[in-house]
Structure 1
Amino acid sequence: MYANDQLTEYTCTEHYYKHLYGIVYTDGVRALCHQFECYWFLDLIVSYQPRLKDEEFQLWCLVRHEDESATVTCTDGNDKEMVRQQVDWTDFKATEAAVWVEFNVVLLPSEH
């Protein structure tokens, strides 16, 4: 199940939420994290921001594997991979999700 398919009602945001480390995220990302139990995904994205601070656009993908491990990747949107991290175990409730980071805001692609 692609998590984003369950969140299509998020086409813009009414609220922005500030992460402990300064980046902000939208209603849709908050719903993704809550509904699919993946606040850790947001934390992982935020942890890479000092390294990616000059990147205006980032496409983050989370893919859960059958053995309950996962792979998180970040590209520049043009297939240039900037981050790849293996996650040994996750209770992520879908098989895949994608979020964007644009100008220090984490959002669902449907919220753009």
Structure 2
Amino acid sequence: MKNFDASQLSHFTGTERYYRISRRHLLTDGTKYLAEEAECFWMMDAVASHLSEIGTADWFVLVRVTVQGTRATMVYEDGNGREHARQEIPFTDFPIAEQTLYACWDGEHWVIMLPSEY
């Protein structure tokens, strides 16, 4: 793993570009940085997969990632505490104990972003 500096994530506000990870899923500058520097494209793939299952009835999904030791839990909710899905990750070396991501439906794509980019 690279020398990942999580404090850099707070510097991302808005985005200058979108990065396609699938036909209907885009990353922002911040989530692309996170995926590359923390080597967690697996997380973005997991988010995209669950967003496809959740659908677009809710245009906003909050994703909470919690790491305990080498295991992680990803919880997908509506932002008001209603859980859409939950995924247990049996092994990860993700370097942050807790990370929140937002996903917004823009009418054509799910945009996965850091909270500071919302």
TM-score (ref. length: structure 2): 0.85
Return the alpha-carbon distance in structure 1 between the equivalents of residues 66 and 8 of structure 2: 16
Give 5+ residue unaligned stretches, structure 1: none
**Alignment: residue pair count:** 109
What percentage of residue pairs aligned between the two structures are identical?
Answer: 32
Return the alpha-carbon distance in structure 2 between the equivalents of residues 74 and 107 of structure 1: 14
Corresponding residue of 1:102: 104
AA aligned to 1:87 is I
Corresponding residue of 2:60: 57
> Within 5 Å, which residues of 2 pair with 1:1-112?
5-54=7-56, 55-66=58-69, 68-103=70-105, 104-112=110-118
Q: Following superposition, which runs of at least 4 residues in structure 1 exceed 3 angstroms of deviation?
A: 3-6
Return the alpha-carbon distance in structure 2 between the equivalents of residues 14 and 6 of structure 1: 16
AA aligned to 1:40 is W
Q: Which has the higher contact order (CA 8 A, sep 6+)?
A: 1
For the 8 Å contact 1:59–1:76, the answer to whether it is kept is yes
Give 5+ residue unaligned stretches, structure 2: none
For the 8 Å contact 1:21–1:46, the answer to whether it is kept is no
TM-score (ref. length: structure 1): 0.90
Task: Give the superposed CA RMSD.
Answer: 1.5
